[in-house]
Structure 1
Amino acid sequence: MRFADRTDAAERLAEALAGYRGRRPLILAIPRGALPMGDLLAQRLGGELDVVLVRKLRAPFSPEYAIGSVDEHGWTYIAPHAHGTGASDRYIEQEKREQLAVLHERRNRYTPGRAGIDPAGRVAIVVDDGLATGATMVAALHAVRARGPERLVCAVPVASIEALELVRPYADEVVCLHAPPDFYAVGQFYRTFGQVDDEEAIALLRQAGQPPAQPS
């Protein structure tokens, strides 16, 4: 299975999540790539769009490879393989501080003057454009679970089998359209997989009724 782009993936996810239509779900996108998908899901399901802010912790010699993740409140997931990549405890703490600084800056830009929309008592659907290691999704699900949703759903178009096994305990339901055994990178399952920049992310939140500040 391949997706034309994130819009195509989101349309297919909306079909898989149709049972939540009419329940005003809170769609929580992981910036930045998942924001266009979250926006479309919110429209199709009659839900509300917001972001859940998390960052992966990068391996020391391979910044695209996740050795863990952190949410904006400082909760950290460290993968079992982290130290095997050459990441010392000191390196991990420094990487955590750097990523927390990015998260705080993004919160100020995306939703200035407020925390995220409260998921307490609501169906919360956390969406990303794909899971390679699953580390970032773990932090996102943990952050949302801590705020007491009625039901917590992880929704992705594609994921590695290992990532799905990792995230399942953190969600009430995992919706994944494709889990191939030959997974190498999320982008291999999209014909078009361009970057989503901050300006687009801010515009999507504004259109969804959230008034984030303009980027400086």
Structure 2
Amino acid sequence: MFFENREDAGSQLSQLLKKYKNMPVVVYALPRGGVPVAAEIARFLEAPIDLIFAHKIGHPYQPEYAIAAISESGHMIGPSLEISESIGNDWLEMQKTDQLNEIKRKREKYLNGRKNISVENKIAILVDDGIATGLTMIVGINELKDRHPKKIVVAVPVAPRRTSNLIKTMVDDFVGIEVDDYDFLGAVGAYYKEFNQVEDDEVIEILNSEYKRNLDK
């Protein structure tokens, strides 16, 4: 195991992001798993935290296998032509609608009406608890570009080399701890001693605490 838990992963990543301390930064999490990681980074950098919503679309016969991803404003990647032909357009459209509705639910529940933090002319650091296929991260990057940051940094504890190389072409900086060449363990959770599902209540508690921290600054 490389990380005790998501907080440990965030603490380790923070040390690799020291150069962004005392700079105009907004830390973005991909919820839910990215929130505890991003919170550690936000506290270390003394920066505000916000969310980028992006959901994977799983294969109808193997839901854990991501074939596509969609962001809050509709940026989408995948599925491949071959998979599209096998699943049918009606099924895919239904999934897109379902995921956008779930994103809307999460925004309302997690942020409780709080508006997006302005990142124009600032550095945006986009964080998740790890990358496998990279689909949600890619649409998350495209979503973040719509907010016109000065610079986009992706920070993750673990990623396959091939995926990280692709993401590097899309952003200004990529920070990772375990970027494996050929021996990626197949699932992000394999790199953690504790990798429990992050529940809605935990996300809300973290975000409320961080919101108060920034008000008190």
TM-score between the two structures when normalised by the length of structure 2: 0.91
Aligned match of 2:202 in 185, 200, 203?
200
By how many angstroms is 1:37 displaced?
1.0
Of 131-140 and 75-84, deviating more is 75-84
The 2-side partners of 1:102 and 1:201 are apart by 15
Q: Which residue of 1 aligns with 2:56?
A: 56
2:105 is the counterpart of 1:72? no
Aligned match of 1:186 in 157, 171, 188?
188
The 2-side partners of 1:173 and 1:92 are apart by 33
Q: Which residue of 1 aligns with 2:27?
A: 27
CA-to-aligned-CA distance 1:166-205 (integer Å, 9 cap, x gap): 3222211111111122220001111111111000100111
Of 127-136 and 67-76, deviating more is 67-76
Q: 1:206 to 1:132 in 2, by over 3 A?
A: same
TM-score between the two structures when normalised by the length of structure 1: 0.91
By how many angstroms is 1:70 displaced?
0.7
Contact 1:158 1:177 in 2 (8 A): yes
Alignment of 1:128-207 (within 5 A): 128-180=128-180, 181-183=182-184, 184-207=186-209
Q: 1:200 to 1:81 in 2, by over 3 A?
A: farther
Q: Which residue of 2 aligns with 1:213?
A: none
Of 115-124 and 190-199, deviating more is 115-124
The 1-side partners of 2:74 and 2:123 are apart by 24
By how many angstroms is 1:75 displaced?
1.6
Contact 2:48 2:211 in 1 (8 A): no
Of 9-18 and 79-88, deviating more is 79-88
Of 67-76 and 81-90, deviating more is 81-90
By how many angstroms is 1:124 displaced?
0.3
Report % sequence identity. 33
Q: Which amino acid aligns with 1:30?
A: L
By how many angstroms is 1:113 displaced?
2.6
Contact 1:54 1:136 in 2 (8 A): yes
Q: 1:85 to 1:155 in 2, by over 3 A?
A: farther
Q: Which residue of 2 aligns with 1:10?
A: 10
Alignment of 1:74-93 (within 5 A): 74-80=74-80, 83=83, 86-93=86-93
Structure 1: stretches of 5+ with no match in the other structure: 211-216
Root-mean-square deviation over aligned CA pairs: 1.7
Q: 1:53 to 1:203 in 2, by over 3 A?
A: same
* Count of aligned pairs between the two proteins: 210
Q: Which amino acid aligns with 2:211?
A: G
Contact 1:60 1:86 in 2 (8 A): no
Contact 1:132 1:160 in 2 (8 A): yes
CA-to-aligned-CA distance 1:10-36 (integer Å, 9 cap, x gap): 111001111001114100001011111
Q: Secondary structure, in 3 states, of the residue corresponding to 1:209? A: helix
Contact 1:68 1:78 in 2 (8 A): yes
Structure 2: stretches of 5+ with no match in the other structure: 213-217
Contact 1:50 1:116 in 2 (8 A): yes
By how many angstroms is 1:80 displaced?
3.2
By how many angstroms is 1:93 displaced?
1.4
Contact 1:38 1:127 in 2 (8 A): yes
